């Protein structure tokens, strides 16, 4: 079964950067294990400032960490990895996710595998998958503020008594009006997040597509829509209480902008995985597929 679309490898490994999950002191011993595993290959491990404060080690700024590192490590879970992908987007560095709790959809290396997987990296026994990201442009008075999202952009109402009323346009033409609890614009990777809870499709993460899924629509005729990657969709809100939530991490008020446009970002997130990582096995474990 073909489970990847690239043979990309790291060109060199002299320095590795690390960002950890906030406020989890249980990660200190695992940081030391990662450091020793890399020292075996004479590789420097550097840590961004907030994580270094938690782990009790020397620090560098986040920007310096990204510039100097040949690849990055997200130590904690899917949320930590998503945050690192977004913050390091412009540096295009591959990222390895090591999970602190249960197996995630994105992080697949557990603590007991740290040494063995780092050995595999130096033996080129790994793969790098490129995951599509979203570029979100917030337009106001001719100015544009650009941000990126890894999983999804959610347009949501702020009042329980109200409804979100959102119009979607392509090339200036209205394609749909969404009236209900909100709308999710998702990447294929993010299809297994809020999107699937709202009845959207599960899309293989290496697929190139843009997914629009209404949340509790007022009309039963509203259905999820999957668009080609070369489409750019513009959104306008017809009420004052709609907010934009980026990967569940940042929130903006629609009323502060004239409109919002979303398209596929020019770069993707590069994730380092085991060669034998099988997305369908993850789905079977997380969603209990194949069980009677």
Q: Are residues 280 and 252 in the same domain?
A: no
Query: What are the angstrom distances between the C-alpha of 253 and each of 33, 71, 244, 290?
Result: 43, 35, 6, 42
Residue 10 lies in a domain: no
Residue 151 lies in a domain: yes
Residue 150 lies in a domain: yes
Q: Are residues 139 and 167 in the same domain?
A: yes
The neighbour count for residue 281, using CB atoms within 10 Å, is 15
Q: Are residues 128 and 272 in the same domain?
A: yes
Q: Are residues 124 and 177 in the same domain?
A: no
Residue 9 lies in a domain: no
Q: Are residues 108 and 124 in the same domain?
A: yes
- Evaluated on CA atoms 32, 34, 40, 43, the torsion sign reads negative
Q: What integer pLDDT is reported at residue 3 of this predicted model?
A: 57
pLDDT at 1 over 80: no
Q: Are residues 110 and 194 in the same domain?
A: no
Q: What integer pLDDT is reported at residue 6 of this predicted model?
A: 66
Stated as kind and residue range, the H or E segment containing 85 is helix 78-87
pLDDT tens-digit series, residues 196-223? 999 999 999 999 999 999 999 988 889 9
Q: Are residues 111 and 144 in the same domain?
A: no
Stated as kind and residue range, the H or E segment containing 53 is helix 49-55
Stated as kind and residue range, the H or E segment containing 226 is strand 225-227
Residue 1 lies in a domain: no
Total tally of structural domains belonging to the chain: 2
DSSP-assigned letter for residue 200: P
Q: What integer pLDDT is reported at residue 2 of this predicted model?
A: 55
Q: What integer pLDDT is reported at residue 26 of this predicted model?
A: 87
Q: Are residues 156 and 245 in the same domain?
A: yes
Name the residues annotated as catalytic. 78
Range of the domain at 168: 134-264
For residue 154, what is the domain's CATH number?
A: 2.60.200.30
Q: Highest mean pLDDT: which of 21-25, 218-222, 227-231, 274-278? A: 227-231
User: Which residues lie across from 183 on neighbouring strands?
Assistant: 155, 214
pLDDT tens-digit series, residues 155-167? 998 877 778 999 9
Q: Are residues 83 and 46 in the same domain?
A: yes
pLDDT tens-digit series, residues 63-77? 999 999 999 999 998
Q: Are residues 276 and 187 in the same domain?
A: no
Residue 234 lies in a domain: yes
Residue 53 lies in a domain: yes
Q: What integer pLDDT is reported at residue 275 of this predicted model?
A: 92
pLDDT tens-digit series, residues 96-125? 999 877 667 888 898 889 999 999 999 999
Share of residues in the chain with pLDDT > 90 (%)? 79
For residue 79, what is the domain's CATH number?
A: 3.40.50.10330
Q: Are residues 109 and 139 in the same domain?
A: no
Residue 7 lies in a domain: no
In sequence order, what are the residues at sequence separation of 6 or more whose Cβ sits closer than 8 angstroms to the Cβ of residue 256? 138, 140
């Amino acid at each position: 079964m073909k489970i990847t679309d690239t043979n990309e490898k790291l060109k060199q490994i002299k320095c590795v950067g690390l960002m950890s999950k906030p406020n989890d002191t249980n990660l200190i011993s695992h940081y030391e294990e990662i450091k020793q595993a890399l020292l075996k290959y004479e590789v420097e491990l550097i840590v961004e400032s907030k994580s270094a404060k938690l782990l009790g080690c020397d620090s560098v700024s986040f920007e310096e960490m990204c510039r100097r590192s040949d690849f990055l490590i997200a130590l904690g879970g899917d949320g930590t990895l998503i945050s690192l992908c977004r913050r390091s987007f412009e540096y295009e560095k591959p990222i390895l996710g090591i999970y602190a709790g249960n197996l995630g959809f994105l992080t697949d290396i557990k603590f007991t595998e740290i040494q063995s997987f780092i050995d595999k990296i130096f033996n080129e026994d790994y793969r790098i998958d490129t995951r599509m990201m979203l570029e979100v442009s917030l337009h106001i008075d001719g100015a544009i503020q650009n941000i990126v999202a890894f999983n999804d952009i959610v347009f949501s109402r702020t009042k329980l008594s109200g409804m979100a009323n959102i119009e979607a346009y392509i090339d200036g033409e209205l394609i749909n009006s969404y009236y209900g609890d909100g709308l999710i614009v998702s990447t294929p990777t993010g299809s297994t997040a809020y999107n699937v809870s709202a009845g959207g499709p599960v899309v293989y993460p290496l697929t190139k597509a843009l997914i629009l899924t209404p949340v509790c629509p007022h009309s039963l005729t509203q259905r999820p829509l999957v668009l080609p990657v070369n489409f750019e969709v513009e959104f306008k809100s017809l009420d004052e209480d709609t907010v934009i939530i980026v990967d569940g991490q940042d929130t903006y008020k629609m009323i502060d902008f004239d409109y919002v446009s979303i398209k596929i970002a020019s770069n993707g997130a590069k994730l380092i995985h085991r060669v034998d990582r099988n997305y369908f096995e993850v789905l079977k474990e997380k969603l209990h597929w194949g069980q009677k």
